[in-house]
Structure 1
């Protein structure tokens, strides 16, 4: 009976820690939503002030937009129209981000609903256990209770570490794909520079389009990764600076879109993406090292419990 009650407490305490983590993530997402809404408002106002007719560019991809700018699609745009097109591209990206954040908030709200009674359940179980300890007058029971408390905290932390590692792996995969596309764009761009013709230009733009898509996915995954690291970072004291992680993709939408036709722009973006991948891998390595420490702690707790039970 006592051990069964301990197991229930371990589970509910894990639920409480998860609830606290989700509440922290929810606050973070709502702050980001406020920021992206302000960005959307700013970009919308900027577009509304322009007298250019840019409706034909709605929903356009990077490939089609650059093709339009350099004059291989529709008519060639002048520099002012390029600026308008760049703003519109940023606006579309911001709107996609807004929708993803809203969906994440809704997802967390649903999870929190399932955990809303966890604190009440924990207090009830704790009261029941305290009564059992008093009735038994057992130092053994108190010691076992303390071990179970430590186990509950450690297991919950291991779960958080594992979730962060999985989220980091998703970011890593998206960045790997972006790098592959940028390397292909770089290769086709080199051929284009030595007279590769329309085929090399088209292939270069296609790979740039793919890279931009993968960067957007990586940024979305990065946002979730950052949320998973919030509590982990505090507990492990890893000193991870997330500001750079969340802003690294900005260079894809900064400046004139026409910059993408410059080979150096592709090289710079490739270098920055590779640097970001290295940063993410470094964080994942730290998380795995911390995971090993916590699993070792769990093993020590189990050995101590087994020793205590054997001595009774």
Structure 2
């Protein structure tokens, strides 16, 4: 009986933390989703407006005729098409973000469902614990059960830290892939400026496309990393502006790809990617230190509990 309730306490404390964690993450995802949906609406309106601007220039009219005769039509049409492309690109990216968030919310809800009655189960277990202590069947039973609750909390916290570390490592991996692609694009861009011709321009563009894919992956992983940090930030004493981890990707997708062929913009992207990599790496170093400290505390608690049980 004593051993059974001891193990139940360890497990249920972990389940309680998990339930709270999932609820906080869902709420944060939903708040983010509202922002994304407003952005989609704005971009849809902007895309329609940009498309109409292009259509107006392509239709025959006095303005169109004047622009043609004055030699400015092609220049204006090129500008409008560029704006249309930038809006469409950003709209596509935000739609992908919405899909990522929807999938994450559904995944968390599926994890949350089996934990719907965990508070009731905990209350029942507390009554069993109280009865066991009062019965006096085991010396120091109250201290052993108290240690079991602490052990459950610490185990759950270590799991949360490790989940955050795993998410952060995925961010680093995507950022490193993006950095490599941007470096290749930069090198080929230099060759292009030195007269490399069509081939160097094509290869540069291919590396830019690869970098864009990796940056989208980095943004997706960054979002999940940010949610994991919500659970451990206060306990781990992390002094980091979590929101900035998500904002950085907007640098690349707010029309940036349209200007990606400009060599200076590639350099800016490379610098920003490296900076974010260092920020994430710094957070991971702190999280790993925290895991070591908590595992040491957990070992002490388990040792104290073992000694008490052996003395009974």
TM-score by length of 1: 0.90
Within-5 A mapping of 1:118-197: 118-136=118-136, 140-197=140-197
Within-5 A mapping of 1:227-266: 227-255=227-255, 257-266=257-266
My pick for the range that moved more, 271-280 or 118-127, is: 118-127
Q: 1:191 to 1:77 in 2, by over 3 A?
A: farther
Which sections of structure 2, spanning at least 5 residues, go unmatched? 56-74
| Whole-angstrom CA distance in 1 between matches of 2:306 and 2:268 | 57
> 1:278 maps to which residue?
278
> 1:6 maps to which residue?
6
Native 8 Å contact 1:82 1:256 kept in 2: no
| Whole-angstrom CA distance in 2 between matches of 1:275 and 1:257 | 19
| Whole-angstrom CA distance in 1 between matches of 2:207 and 2:46 | 29
> 1:22 maps to which residue?
22
| Whole-angstrom CA distance in 2 between matches of 1:176 and 1:77 | 38
| Whole-angstrom CA distance in 2 between matches of 1:37 and 1:145 | 48
| Whole-angstrom CA distance in 1 between matches of 2:12 and 2:308 | 24
Native 8 Å contact 1:174 1:214 kept in 2: yes
Q: 1:211 to 1:105 in 2, by over 3 A?
A: same
| Whole-angstrom CA distance in 1 between matches of 2:247 and 2:282 | 18
Native 8 Å contact 2:10 2:149 kept in 1: yes
| Whole-angstrom CA distance in 2 between matches of 1:253 and 1:177 | 17
* 1:311 CA drift (Å): 2.5
| Whole-angstrom CA distance in 2 between matches of 1:212 and 1:257 | 8
* 1:32 CA drift (Å): 0.5
My pick for the range that moved more, 296-305 or 250-259, is: 250-259
**Larger Rg, first or second structure (1 or 2):** 2
Native 8 Å contact 1:83 1:256 kept in 2: no
| Whole-angstrom CA distance in 2 between matches of 1:14 and 1:216 | 33
> 1:64 maps to which residue?
none
Kindly tell me the number of residue pairs found equivalent between the two proteins.
292
* 1:257 CA drift (Å): 4.4
| Whole-angstrom CA distance in 2 between matches of 1:97 and 1:160 | 24
| Whole-angstrom CA distance in 2 between matches of 1:256 and 1:21 | 35
Within-5 A mapping of 1:48-87: 48-50=48-50, 51-52=52-53, 78-87=78-87
Q: CA RMSD in A?
A: 1.7
> 2:296 maps to which residue?
296
TM-score by length of 2: 0.90
Q: 1:257 to 1:175 in 2, by over 3 A?
A: closer
Native 8 Å contact 1:176 1:277 kept in 2: yes
* 1:259 CA drift (Å): 2.0
> 2:90 maps to which residue?
90
* 1:254 CA drift (Å): 3.0
| Whole-angstrom CA distance in 2 between matches of 1:199 and 1:156 | 54
> 2:200 maps to which residue?
200
Q: 1:271 to 1:311 in 2, by over 3 A?
A: same
